[in-house]
A and B are shown apart, each in its own frame.
Chain A
Amino acid sequence: MKKKTCFHCGGNFIKSEKKFKKKLFCCSGCKEIYKILQDHKLNKFYEMNAHPGMIPNKKNNRFDFLDQKKIREKLVDFENDKITLIRLSIPSIHCSSCIWILESLPKIHTGIIQSTVNFPTKKVCILFNNKKLPLSKLAYFLSKLGYTPNFNEKSRYNSIKNKKLIYKIVISFFCFVNIMLLAIPEYIGSGDKWLIENKYFFRILMLILSFPVLFFSSANYFQSAYFTLKNKCLNIDFPICLGILTIFWRSIYEITYNLGPGYLDSLTGLVFFLLLGEFFQKKTYQYLSFDKDYKFFYPISIIRLREGLEENIFISYLSRGDRILIRNEEIIPTDSILIRGTALIDNSFITGESKLVVKKIGDRIFAGGKQKGESIELEVLEKVDQSYLFQLWNNEVFKKKTEIHELVNKWSKYFTIITLAITLLTGLYWSIVNPCKLFKTVSSVLIVACPCALAISMPFILGNIMRILAKKNFFLRDVYTIERISQIKTLVFDKTGTITESNKSKISFVGKCLTKKQIILIASLVKNSKHPFSRKLYKFLYTGKIFPVRDFKEIPGKGLEANINGMKIKVGSAKYIIHEPKKENIKQSRVFVYIERKVLGYFIFLNFYRKKLKKIFEKLAYYKIIIISGDNDSEKSRLYALLPKNSIFFFEQSPKEKLSRIKYLQKIGEKIMMFGDGLNDTGAIKQSDVGVALSEDVNNFSPNCDVLMKADSFDKIFEILQLSKIGILLVRISFIISIYYNIIGLSLAIMGYLRPIIAAILMPLSSISIIVFSLISTKLSDYWINKIKN
C-alpha cells in the first residue's frame, strides 16, 4: 500500500491528518499555506515538484526585535521612509518551487514590491514597502509560509573573501597562459636567428608577467609561512614558499646571466593549480558547512518575561532590553544586568575557577556564568552571540585528548622538518651525480611533499559525519568526540529524564488536600529548579501566581528549600524531608512536601518509559549497559523486563556516588559513554569519556557535556554509535591513501622523474580525490546504516 503523505511537505502524519479540498495535510500549518496559495491562484507551486513545501515553524517566533532601528540598520541594505531592501538568508530554500513561490511573493502580499532569489547561497533579496509591511511582519509572514529567515550578520564578509580568491585565480591563470605562449617559441625553434636576437624581449615580458602572480596571487602562502615562522614554527606552507622562491630566483639568475629562459611557466602554473585546488576545497567545504550555522547551533531556548508572562524563545531571538529568567544551574547566555533576586555566579566555564561570586541588583553579569541558587531576573544588555556560547562549549578546559588528534599534532610538527631534510638530501645527491637536474628535483620534492591530502582528510570526513549526526539531532562538541565515541564499550544511562520521558508522567498527591496558597507556595519553590521532577511539578501546579523566594537552596539528589513569605518550605526525597530511609515496599517515585515544620504529604510520579525502549536496547546488546538512578528501585522489575539480561542496575545514587561509580569503572579500563539530563549528574557526565546531555525542551545548556542530544532521537543511539565507528575507520583509510600518494610522489620526485609543473598539478588532484572519497564514503555509510535499521 502506498504510504499517505502530506500534500504540502511530504511528511508523515504524526497525529491526526487534516483534510482540505480532498487533499491531506499533516498539520494545520501546511494546510494554511495551501490555502494561502490557493487564494492567490499559485497552484503551480505543487505542479513543479511533488511535496515541495516546508513545514512552517510551529513555535511562534517573535521578530519584534527587528523593528528596533539599531538592529535593523545592521541587517538592511537600503532603507528610506518608504521602501526597504533586505537580503535575507533562508536556509529552507531547496527546489525550483521554492524559487518560484518566493519570487511570486508580490502576488501574495501587496506590501512586497519585488523579490529575487539567489539559489546557491539560499538568499532572497526583497524590496518592500515598510509602511505597509514592517520588517518584523515580513519575517513573520515568511516564517508562516515555512521560510523562516535566519538573521545572521556574518555572511556578507565571506563573499568578499571568496571574491578575492577568484581574482587571484584569474590573474594567475592569465599570467600562466601568457607566459606559456611566450615560452613556446624558445622551446621549439631554439635555432632561429630572429628569436635569438629578440629572446630578451620574451624573457623580460615573461618576468614582468610573473610579478603579479608572485606578489598578489601567492601572497597568502607567504603571509601564513611568515607568521608561523615568526612564532618559531614551521607549517606546510613553508616548503611551498621555499619552492616558489627557489624557482623564482633561479629564473632571474638564468635570465640575467643569459643561461636560459628560466622556469617562470612552472612557477605561475604551480600557483595557479594550488589556488584552484584551494578553490575547490573551499567550495566543497561551503557545501558541507552550508547548513552549519543553521543546524549546528543547538537551538537553545530561554524563558523571556514579557508583561508578567513567561515564554520560551530561542536565545538567538533575544534582544537588548528583554527580561529573562535564569533558574538554578542555568547558564547566563549574554551580558546582562541583575534586576531581581540574589545571584551566586559560578564562572568556572569562563575562567576555569569554580568560586561563587555574589552579585547585587544592578550589577553586570557576564555571559557564560552559571547561576547557583534561586531563579533570577536579568535584563539583557547585548544580543546573544551563539558563537560565543559555542566557543564556551569548545573551551580547552573541557577538551579530552584523543589518539588521532595527538598523532596528527605530532606528525604535523615534524612533517615540515622531514620534508626539508629529504629535500636537502636529494639536493646533495643530485649536485654530485648530475648538477643540471639539481634544481628541478629540489623544487619538485618541495612541492609534492606538501601533506595537503593528509591534512584535510580528517576534518573533511569527521566534519561530514558530525553534520550527519547533527541532522539526527545529536550535536557534538568537536570532531574529536567522534573518535571517543567509536571506542566506547560501556553505556551508562541515568533513569529519570533519560530512559523515562520527562514530559509525560502522572502526578498525584497523597496527603491532606492542599490549599490554594500552599499550591502557589510549592509552585514558587519548584520554579527555581531545573530538575525534571521540579519542572513537571511546576507545570502541574502553576496557576499564574508566584511568590518571591528567599534563601533558595538546591541540594542535588535530595531536594529544594527556601523561605517564602516568611515560611520555610522544603520539597524533596523522603530521606531529605522525613529523615527516614525508604521502606522496601514503596514502589513509586515520591516527592515530599514540608511547609512550616509540617510534612503535608507527597506527590507520586508515575514514570513513562520511552517508546520502543526494548527494541533500542536489543540493538545495543554488544555494549555493556549500566543504569544509574538517583531514584528508588520501585520500578526494578519493569526495567528488568525492558533491558537486556546482563545489564547492571544501581539505585538511590547521589550525584557524588554516580561520579565515583564512573571513576571506578574507568579505573578498571572501561570506556564509558554516559547519558543523562546534565543536571544532577553533571559530575558523572564530565568524568565519563563521552558525556551526553539529553534534553527535552532544551533549556539546559551544560558546557560540561561532549554531546547535546534531543531527547526524541533516543532511538537513534545505535545508528550514532555505528556511524562514529565507521567515521574513524574512514579516516584511517584516507590516511593510508594519502600517505601512499605522498610516498609515490616523493620517490618519483627524488629520482628526478617529476617536473615541478606536474607536481603542482598532482598535488591538488590528490587533495581533491581525498575530498571526493570522504564525501562519497560518508554518504554511503549513512545510507547503509539507515538501510540496516529498516
Chain B
Amino acid sequence: MGILLLMILASVSLGVVFLIIFIICVRKGQFDDNETPSVRILIED
C-alpha cells in the first residue's frame, strides 16, 4: 500500500506543475483579452 502514498505525492506535484504552467500563461498575457478573438474569428478578410 506504500505505493498509494507515492501516487498521492505524484498527483499533487503534477497539480503543482499545471499550476505553474497556468501562472506562466497568465503572466504572458494569454488571458488578458478573452472577448476580442471571439469577434475577430467571425470577421472575414
What residues make up the interface of A, taking CB atoms closer than 8 Å to B? 96, 99-100, 103, 116-121, 159, 163, 166-167, 170-171, 174, 178, 182, 194, 198, 201, 205, 209
A205 to B8, CA, bound (A): 10
CB of A163 within 8 A of CB of B12, answer no
Chain A nearest CB, measured from B42 CB (Å) = 8
Chain B nearest CB, measured from A189 CB (Å) = 13
CB of A174 within 8 A of CB of B36, answer no
Name 16 extra pairs, CB < 8 A, besides A120-B35, A170-B19, A174-B15: A96-B43, A99-B39, A99-B43, A117-B36, A118-B33, A119-B33, A121-B33, A166-B31, A167-B26, A170-B23, A174-B16, A178-B15, A198-B5, A205-B8, A205-B12, A209-B12
Q: List 12 A-B contacts (CB under 8 A).
A: A96-B43, A99-B39, A100-B43, A103-B40, A119-B35, A121-B32, A166-B26, A170-B19, A174-B15, A178-B12, A194-B1, A198-B5
- The residue in chain A whose Cβ has the minimal distance to the Cβ of B22 is A170
A100 to B26, CA, bound (A): 26
B residues 1-45 near A (Cβ < 8 Å) are: 1, 5, 8-9, 12, 15-16, 19, 22-23, 26-27, 31-36, 39-40, 42-43
Closest 8 CB pairs of A and B: A119-B36, A118-B33, A119-B35, A96-B39, A174-B19, A120-B35, A99-B39, A100-B43
A209 to B22, CA, bound (A): 18
Chain B nearest CB, measured from A477 CB (Å) = 34
Chain B nearest CB, measured from A107 CB (Å) = 9
CB of B32 within 8 A of CB of A201, answer no
A118 to B12, CA, bound (A): 36
* Chain B interface main SS type: helix
A209 to B9, CA, bound (A): 12
A13 to B35, CA, bound (A): 34
CB of A182 within 8 A of CB of B8, answer yes
A118 to B26, CA, bound (A): 16
CB of B33 within 8 A of CB of A167, answer no
Which of the residues B9, B12, B16, B23 comes within 8 Å of A167, measured between beta carbons? Answer: B23
A170 to B12, CA, bound (A): 15
CB of A163 within 8 A of CB of B35, answer no
CB of A201 within 8 A of CB of B5, answer yes
Chain A nearest CB, measured from B40 CB (Å) = 7
A174 to B23, CA, bound (A): 12
A117 to B32, CA, bound (A): 11
Q: Which residues of chain B have C-beta atoms less than 8 A from A121's C-beta?
A: 32-33
Q: Which residues of chain B have C-beta atoms less than 8 A from A116's C-beta?
A: 36
A163 to B26, CA, bound (A): 7
Q: Which residues of chain A have C-beta atoms less than 8 A from B22's C-beta?
A: 170
- The residue in chain A whose Cβ has the minimal distance to the Cβ of B42 is A96
Which of the residues A100, A159, A171, A205 comes within 8 Å of B19, measured between beta carbons? Answer: A171
Chain A nearest CB, measured from B3 CB (Å) = 12
- The residue in chain A whose Cβ has the minimal distance to the Cβ of B43 is A100
A166 to B27, CA, bound (A): 10
Q: Which residues of chain B have C-beta atoms less than 8 A from A163's C-beta?
A: 26-27
Most buried by A among B5, B12, B34: B12
Chain A nearest CB, measured from B27 CB (Å) = 7
A182 to B15, CA, bound (A): 13
CB of A118 within 8 A of CB of B36, answer yes
Q: Which residues of chain B have C-beta atoms less than 8 A from A166's C-beta?
A: 26, 31
- The residue in chain B whose Cβ has the minimal distance to the Cβ of A93 is B36
A174 to B19, CA, bound (A): 8
A159 to B19, CA, bound (A): 20
Chain A nearest CB, measured from B4 CB (Å) = 8
Chain B nearest CB, measured from A157 CB (Å) = 15
- The residue in chain B whose Cβ has the minimal distance to the Cβ of A197 is B1
A96 to B35, CA, bound (A): 10
Q: Which residues of chain A have C-beta atoms less than 8 A from B34's C-beta?
A: 120
Knowing A167-B23, A170-B19, say if A120 contacts B33 (CB, 8 Å).
yes
A159 to B32, CA, bound (A): 9
A171 to B16, CA, bound (A): 9
